[in-house]
Amino acid sequence: EVQLVQSGAELKKPGESLRISCQGSGYTFRNYWIGWVRQMPGKGLEWMGIIYPDDSYTRYSPSFQGQVTISADKTSSIAYLQWSSLKASDSAMYYCVRRDGSGWDFYFAYWGQGTLVTVSS
Amino acid sequence: SSELTQDPAVSVALGQTIRITCQGDNLGGYSVSWYHQKPGQAPVLVMFGDKNRPSGIPDRFSGSRSGNTASLTITGAQAEDEADYYCNSQDSSSGQYVFGTGTKVTVL
């Protein structure tokens, strides 16, 4: 069974750093792209970026380029999303997703349970 | 920037049919997928490749595409279909993934 299990909720202060994780299991982790999605309180889904764990090739949404870092450890089957200096506006739920499909048809059949990040002084 | 536009909210009487649309000028050749999200839960895939239902999704859900507009139709809406619905696709020029603005579906 394919599963994406994310790390637990975080409460951080502005300016602090943070790394959250997404552990994949039930499939060959390195062969599937993993994406990250942000959902601010009461708002819609926002695409952040995606990584191919086998070679760590990463593409960021222009809105998040330079704001976060996406990485992956293919030997441990874990993808990461990290911030070097959090802001209050980073408070949101973050989901990891596995990209499936091919050619012109891509979709996200598997989602992590979400990690709630709260940034408050 | 690429955008996928959805109606913010739609309501439907129990057992009636509802169609949710997703319009994007830069959809191009990429297909559209659809997700529903209930309060406090992660989104769930309900349609992919414009018109394909994943296993476990009831056949009252159907998808279609005409040019730059994709549609998700629920024929005979049930109370459990009440949720937020999002479309997703890739921008034909940048290849970036983008979610639609979301539609809140209320079943009366």
3-state secondary structure chain B: CCCEECCCEEEECCCCEEEEEEECCCCCCCCCEEEEECCCCCCEEEEECCCECCCCCCCCEEEEEECCEEEEEEECCCHHHCEEEEEEEECCCCCCEEEECCEEEEEC
Binary contact (A107, B43; C-beta < 8 A) = no
Q: Is the pLDDT of residue B1 over 60?
A: no
State residue B16 phi and psi, 5-degree precision: -90, 175
Looking up tokens 């390195």 gives A30
A→B interface, C-beta within 8 Å: 35, 37, 44-47, 50, 59, 61-62, 95, 100-101, 104-109, 111-114
Which residues does residue B104 pair with via DSSP β-bridges, in sequence order? B9, B84
Chain A positions touching B35 (Cβ under 8 A) are 45, 108
Which pLDDT tens digit goes with each residue over A11-31?
A: 999 999 999 999 999 999 999
Binary contact (A106, B33; C-beta < 8 A) = yes
Q: Model confidence at B2, in pLDDT bands (50, 70, 90)?
A: low
Which pLDDT tens digit goes with each residue over A73-99?
A: 999 999 999 999 999 999 999 999 999
- Mean pLDDT (chain A) is 97
> Residue A95 corresponds to which tokens in the numbers above?
């989901």
Average pLDDT over residues B57-64: 97
Q: Is the pLDDT of residue B25 over 90?
A: no
Binary contact (A107, B88; C-beta < 8 A) = yes
Which pLDDT tens digit goes with each residue over A33-44?
A: 999 999 999 999
Is the Cβ of B90 closer than 8 Å to some Cβ of chain A?
Answer: yes
Is the Cβ of B3 closer than 8 Å to some Cβ of chain A?
Answer: no
pLDDT for B11: 95
Binary contact (B35, A61; C-beta < 8 A) = no
Is the Cβ of B48 closer than 8 Å to some Cβ of chain A?
Answer: yes
Q: Model confidence at A69, in pLDDT bands (50, 70, 90)?
A: very high
Residue in A closest to B55 by C-alpha: A109
Which residues does residue B65 pair with via DSSP β-bridges, in sequence order? B70
Which pLDDT tens digit goes with each residue over B26-57?
A: 777 899 999 999 999 999 999 999 999 999 99
Name the residue facing B45 among A109, A112, A114 (closest C-beta).
A109
Q: Model confidence at A52, in pLDDT bands (50, 70, 90)?
A: very high
- Mean pLDDT (chain B) is 94
